[in-house]
Amino acid sequence: MDRVALRGLKARGHHGVFPKEREEGQTFIVDLVLGLDTRPAAAADDLTKTVHYGVVAEEVVEVVQGEPVDLIETLAERIAQKCLKHEGVEEVEVVVHKPDAPITVPFDDVTITITRSRV
């Protein structure tokens, strides 16, 4: 399985369990690794035979900017399901970063990582 990775997709969303998170929103960062067979695209040098990562990036941003959820686990699942709708994408690893999480001690980042597949 080949991999196409998108790193550091940024979007503002209103996800979280606290009212302040829902009202003010915050930046979320998403990393993706899409698993697919790129040989047909490479052999034909044809974008239509692979995943259009520009379209995927736009869709992921739409999910982050869309309907609020309480948990980043739920957000990651929605992103994964959106990615798997693309023909040829057999699996996806999604990392959602919440660098501005409401934590009272110093920290660098909070992430959730999930892997989903068609199987």
**Catalytic residue ranges:** 98
Secondary structure (DSSP) of 25-91: -EEEEEEEEEEE--HHHHHHT-GGGS--HHHHHHHHHHHHHSS--S-HHHHHHHHHHHHHTSTT--E
